Chains A and B, each alone.
Chain A
Amino acid sequence: MPEAQYEFFIDPSRCIGCQSCVQACSECDTHKGQAMIHLEFVNRHYSTQTAPVVCMHCDSPTCAEVCPADAIKKTPDGVVQTARKPRCIACNNCVLACPFGVPKMNSGAELMMKCDMCYDRTSIGKAPMCASVCPSGALYYGTREQIEAQRPRSMPINQFQFGQQTISTKVHMMVPRTAQPEHIDVLSAMHDHTSGHDIFLMMHDE
């Protein structure tokens, strides 16, 4: 056990879409050659905004609850592990049920694979691969004091709202200190396309 309490803080608004995390993730020993982190263009037609998504390690993980094979286990330190290999029957329940859209399905191998917060690293006090390479600090692994000192305008939050369901997670997301939200209402973005700025080049007369 490491002495200081290291935690995972994510701040997608800082993401610059550089793909470093994707590359680093695919070097992890527990899923060699395959990245478990998702990095997508939110709406490529309008903006360069990208969405880096890792497993949030829910306190009561929907993925594990809906698993018919009891294949997803949580460690005593709260990390929700990827499917246990002899158990997973590749039913896709977890892929469809995870509120954050995290698990991936490896069809030929009949095996769900997902981010396990680099358990081989974090269990011995090292940062996850993605956080160790992220140049923008969108993925940050450190102590609460460190993040507070470095991001005075933000605060971490770990409550997410999906309709009537509240999900609390081990991984924290950074939100503005001024807003002080109780939770993040994910469906509030239902009709949002993306963020950015319109640039009018005045190429043709209007």
Chain B
Amino acid sequence: MVKRHPVRKAILWGCITTISLAIMIAVGSRELAHFDAALVAYTFATLFATFGITYRYTMWLQRPPTAMYWKRGWQMFFKPQRLLTNMRNLFTRTSSDFAANRFIWKRGKLRWLAHWFIMWGCIVAVAITFPLVFGWLHFASVPGSLDSYRAYLFGFALFDFPVDSIFAFLMFHGLVWSSFAVIFGVMLAMWRRMRDHGAASVQQFVEDILPLILLFAISVTGVMLTASYTWMRGYAFDFIAILHAITVIFTLLYMPFGKFFHIFQRPAQLGATFYKDAGATSEQAHCRRCGEAYSSRMHVEDLISVQKQLGFRYEVAGEVEHYQWICPPCRRAMFVLAQTKQWQGNFGDQMFSSMHEQPAAPRFGNPVISEGPLGHEDQANLHF
């Protein structure tokens, strides 16, 4: 079993990804021929981040509930009879939830606007910088033609383009555009965090504010570099370059620990949707108290096994077998009734327990106030 050496396994995977990346840098830059020596520090920070992120990811995957979801997510995805639908859903969900962040829109429009700009700004910036830093992508002037450039990917010539074209302008200023996007997004996020009482009460500096400051610092120093060589004849260029390097390197080192880890963790969201799809069309679990369906049988059985691995002992003697077979509304009702039972006799309260039929499912008090259930799953939870 993998459980015996979780740390060793994580170190092993960390080394595998880090060494693979190092080899790709060496090969992709044609034995470092196109590698810019000024970028050594960036490269080492990236290698460290790669190790840290893989380490944390591997540790995370070995927690019982995560391991269960990881396994089931893939199983459900590759189920032959579901594969076609799953492929289609993968495409729509990747575009709506990942590219468009539709679910964040549902959480709040301001949250969405901020996140969408931060995310796309960072994706564009990363797509430009990393290939350049690693020497995978480089530009050189075309021999015999002073006014065009040639793009090379992994050392292979890709295409030529004129130096003064709009394409060249957009291309060489890509980092400026992405910085503007990030700055805009960060300002919106900060604005929300400063005004929203709910956010203010639970946010923590290292967890919530620091990532925003880092993104802001990277983008601002980056734009300052462009400003320095474009309009100020390179004024303080070296100083700004060092400042920029510090912010980027610090962020890379912070990646495995803080909030940015969600970038790597988030795809698990897709696994959860495939699992739920499969659950919805399979056998349902019926509450052993009220008899109503409340989830898929597969989910309940998986949870029972996860809880056992975690050391919980929710086993119940008799026909219930395991507390997991009781639906959430009946749990709430029994919790209250168990207290009522304690008071029985004290105030002459009478328990209605002698009736022959199964206890009825508890019902939500008042659907009119507080907007009722939060969605179809909440509706099932409330036996609406």
- A22→B365 contact, CB < 8 A: yes
Q: 8 Å CB contacts to A: which residues of B270-286?
A: 271-272, 275-276
Q: B336-369 interface mask toward A, CB cutoff 8 Å, 1 = contact, 0 = none? A: 1111111110100111110100011011111001
A42 to B330, CA, bound (A): 8
Contact across chains for B202 and A81 when beta carbons are under 8 A apart? yes
Minimum CB–CB distance for B156 against chain A, Å:
38
Q: Bin chain B's interface residue count.
A: 35 or more
Tell me which residues across on chain B come within 8 A of A186, comparing CB atoms. Answer: 331, 334-335, 338
A197 at the interface (CB under 8 A from B): yes
B66 CB contacts on chain A under 8 angstroms: 68-69
With A41-B362, A50-B365, A99-B314 given, is the CB distance from A189 to B323 under 8 Å? no
Is B322 located at the chain interface by the 8 A CB criterion? Answer: yes
> A78 at interface (Cβ–Cβ under 8 A)?
no
Give Cα A40–Cα B352 distance, bound, in whole angstroms: 17
Query: For the complex, what is the distance from the CA of A140 to the CA of B15, rounded to whole Å?
Result: 54
Residues of B within 8 A of A35 (CB): 369-370
A105 to B216 CA separation, bound complex (whole angstroms): 33
Q: A66-B65, A91-B69, A175-B342 are in contact. Are A104 and B381 (CB under 8 A)?
A: yes
> Which range contains the number of A residues in contact with the other chain?
35 or more
What chain B residues lie within 8 Å of A62 (beta carbons)? 307, 312
Which residue of B has the minimal Cβ distance to A12?
Answer: B336
Q: Which 9 A-B pairs have the closest CB atoms?
A: A107-B375, A120-B201, A101-B328, A189-B337, A163-B316, A29-B198, A30-B198, A35-B370, A26-B370
The smallest beta-carbon distance between B269 and chain A, in angstroms, is 4
In this assembly, does A143 line the interface, its C-beta being within 8 Å of a C-beta of chain B?
no
B126 within 8 A of A: no
Q: Is B315 an interface residue (CB 8 A)?
A: yes
Nearest-CB distance from B377 to chain A (Å)?
4
Mark B295-334 against chain A: 1 for CB-CB distance below 8 A, else 0. Answer: 1000110010011001011111100101110011111111
Interface residues of A (CB under 8 A from B): 11-13, 17, 19, 22-23, 25-26, 28-35, 38-47, 49-53, 62, 65-70, 81, 85-87, 89-93, 95-101, 104-111, 113, 116, 119-120, 123, 153, 160, 162-165, 173-176, 178-179, 181, 184-198
Q: In the complex, are the beta carbons of A192 and B315 less than 8 A apart?
A: no
Given A51-B362, A86-B262, is A189 in contact with B320 using a C-beta cutoff of 8 Å? no
Report if A40-B316 is in contact (Cβ < 8 Å); known contacts: A96-B295, A111-B107. Answer: no
Beyond the given pairs A11-B339, A90-B269, A96-B324, 10 more chain A to chain B contacts, judged by CB atoms under 8 angstroms and listed by A's residue number, are: A51-B336, A53-B332, A65-B65, A69-B265, A105-B375, A106-B378, A123-B201, A163-B314, A175-B343, A195-B340
Query: When the two chains form their complex, are residues A106 and B362 in contact, meaning their CB atoms are under 8 A apart?
Result: no
Minimal Cβ-Cβ distance residue in B for A42: B333
In the bound complex, CA of A181 to CA of B117 (Å):
57
Chain A positions within 8 Å of B329 at CB level: 40, 101
B266 within 8 A of A: yes
Interface membership of B374, Cβ < 8 A = yes
